[in-house]
Chains A and B, each alone.
Chain A
Amino acid sequence: MTTLSAVARRARWWNHARVRRIGAYVFAGIVVALVTGPGGSEGHYSNGLRHGLLAPRVIPFIVGGLVVWAAVELGGRQLYRVRPLVTTVVSGSQRRWQSPVVRLVSYGLLLVVAIVYPMHISEFWRVVAANEIAIYVLLAIGLNVVIGFAGLLDLGYIAFFAIGAYATAYFTGRLPIHAPFTLNPFLVIPLAIGLALISGVILGFPTLRLRGDYLAIVTLGFGEIVYEFAKNQQGITTGSAGVFNIPHFSIHLLDINYDWGLPSLPYYYVSLGFIVVVMFLFSRLENSRVGRAWTAIREDEVAAAATGVATLKYKLMAFAIGASTSGLAGVLFASKVGSITPDAFTLQYSILVLVLVIFGGMGSIAGVALGAAVLTWLPELLRTHVNPQNRFIYFGMLIIIMMIFRPQGLLPSRRRAREIRFAEAGLEGADALGPTPGSGLTS
């Protein structure tokens, strides 16, 4: 603890930083050996460890770790010379990114790709695009308003998705309790958005007075309660058996008659349309009075309140907007997949959407959309490239590595990137959830 002992410790050879790093490399080698090794599901539970770790095959991995260590320590210094170059390129492109023309053109190009590319992929990937990617992108954009704009940690977000989905089932007459009228799922959209919005306000009003982590656990509880309700109230929701044969979208307007059937592409385009509209609306919102109020709340709630920002009102607004986006996604999902079960609305999914938002770059609409698309697509891609049983192991690793090297996400918002730069320089905390854990601790 004292400086003297610290000096003494540092003087020993095994405390030399370079030597201590061997441990990290060997450890990484062993982890890789474990992850790629045989599983233990057959026969005895210790088989996995016996054949994966306590077997000769672990040696090349340890040696590999040592080789990488040696390469990095002895020859790899040059690698770090590349870093300034990368930084220059990245910051240069970031500067150019700030030009509105460049941004508009890139968004346009992206949209064209999003429209044209799915025409040329297999039906499997179209299903993935319509059932998963589009839905999660929409969910992530919605949660981004809550957490990225207003800085509220919501762990029960998927509950609103459930509300949207079950509303679809209700108004299309697929639940044991019957609505006074049945509608085409298209027409359910405004109703579902309204319902999700109202439930967002009902949940938010008493709980938004709570701070950071308390809000997180209360919203988590709300998510669990909605889930248990869907699961247990068999007379209302059909319980775990789920709701099936939810009708597809259809339009019957004047002379236009169109039915969305099983093919995924038409659904994908509807979802894409909603995504574009929502992205546009939210980016307008971000730069409005409301958006600035959210930023003020996120960065310092007390100061915001002191300068006359009606914090509760704006927080409720963020909550309700996020909830209604989730509800919209719920309708699209229920109608596309045609079946919903309570197990699609568990806590894990709330957490997953949160991961998508942070991974993409909290606060940046484009980043969040990109992050959600990439992270939803990746496990499906991994399915064909690694043993599918292991793909979430890689997924977990990727998330940790990403948070270590790029905590601001794939495409951070400018404001947030600046906040994080300041935080890294030790100037201030980066979000409303408080300062960096253990801040001021680095020597």
Chain B
Amino acid sequence: MDTKHVVRAAVPLAVGAVLLAGCGGSSSGGGGGTTSSGGKTFTIACQGPLTGDNAALGINICDGAKLAIDQANAKGDLSFKLAYKGVDDQGDPTKAPAAAQSEVGDSNVIAIVGPAFSGATQASEQYFTEANLASVTASATLPTLTDPSNHFTTFFRTVATDSSQGAGAADYIAKVLKATKVYSVNDGSAYGQGLAKELESNLTKDNVSVTKDSVPAGTKQYATEASKIASSGADLVYYSGYYADAGPFAKSLKAAGFKGTFMSDDGTKDPNFVKLAGSSAAEGALLTCPCSDPQSSQAASNFVTDYKAAFNQDAGTYSAEAFDAANTIIAAMKAVSGTITRSAVVTALKSIDYQGITKQVKFQSNGELSSTTVYLYKVKNGTISYLGPIDQLIGG
């Protein structure tokens, strides 16, 4: 064997790579920008993690927005055409400015669904404010995003914040479940840490004793944490994080002989949670979510079937909220009387009142929803089923 031999064996790889770059270039193209006879075409961009480790979450969200846009086009009652454009920020605050800038720089973009993650939102929003470009997020739940010191004037969200969810969950734990010793575990992510903080402070207010802990997301191996909790005598575990870790965590808790209640958040409210935990370990788990049951109305159940038909998978967490966010933007565009511009859309959004599939969308002056309800779900017979709004469950 000589050197040349190996070199030559590696040539096809190089050739292949070059060919690929060529193929890829021709086969994929960005959406948007194409004008047709039916009036001007506007692009609604969806910003979120479309690649990388969190891509599954971002794709759920942006597919929801895409469905809304496709349906609005198909309906044919618009005086303009809509295009969809997915913009990837990897959910990463440091990548978000470039993503935001690419949206601001594309003059067809009229409004944005997203950004999906709170950190990315915080890093992007200043660009949107500067360009007077509306961004309606369906999933960034960090309470401080609407802090007046940020001066984010074009920010809206169709989802309740972590502080509503933390307070709702804590009240339910204290008043209905009457737990006395709670183990609050977060996944170390911005979202998990933020939600856990809200929950813990509300639980302390309700005189429930709380033990705090954190296991980094992606750990997967929860046996040690579960043994620790099982022997601590806690009667409830609240996990602030996502299903990919909540699943194995619930599974390990059961294996370690934990007898109390497992409770988690909207990041866990995903059919995959039950799959990963195994139906016996997931059974009885309570999930809080600022998202209402998409099966509750006719429009909502249509959404579920349409989504499944369009993307060949079930609507995930926040798909419905993103669908609403996109439809809210479309409603605002319809409400604009003169020419549709970015700033006209922002103005229209401020006074919008739109009946979405998850809620009545109506914003306060800071971009928060007027009514923020948190709902409770329970895993029953292997499926996540709807229990109702938490405030009603507590009252009744």
Contacts and interface: CB of A to CB of B under 8 A. Distances in A.
B396 interface: no
Interface in A244-278: 244-245, 262, 264
Interface string A378-403: 00101111111111101001101100
Interface in B144-203: 149-150, 188-190, 192-194, 197
Contact of A405 (B14, B94, B126): B14
Nearest to B56: A41
A29 B17 CA distance: 10
Nearest to A345: B94
B23 to A, nearest CB: 6
Interface residues of B, number: 60
The B contact surface, by secondary structure, is helix
A122 B105 contact: yes
B50 interface: yes
The A contact surface, by secondary structure, is helix
Nearest to A385: B25
A380 B23 contact: no
B12 A68 contact: yes
Interface stretch (A85-93, A210-218, A336-344, A365-373): A336-344
Contacts of B214: 232
A123 B104 contact: yes
Contacts of A232: 188, 214
A144 interface: no
B10 A42 contact: no
A28 B312 contact: no
B50 A341 contact: no
Contact of A341 (B101, B119, B130): B119
Contact of A397 (B17, B92, B93, B119): B17
A380 B311 CA distance: 27
A242 B59 contact: no
Interface stretch (A31-39, A197-205, A280-288): A31-39
B175 to A, nearest CB: 28
Nearest to B104: A123
Contacts of A191: none
Contacts of B23: 36
Interface string A312-351: 0000000000000000000001000111110110000000
Contact of B188 (A124, A240, A400): A240
Interface in B33-57: 50-51, 55-56
Interface stretch (B1-9, B70-78, B260-268, B345-353): B1-9
Interface of B: 1, 3-5, 7-17, 19-21, 23-25, 28, 30, 50-51, 55-56, 59, 88, 92-94, 97-98, 101-102, 104-105, 118-119, 122-123, 126-127, 130, 142, 149-150, 188-190, 192-194, 197, 214, 216, 311-313
8 contacts: A21-B8, A232-B188, A242-B190, A339-B122, A386-B24, A388-B50, A389-B51, A401-B17
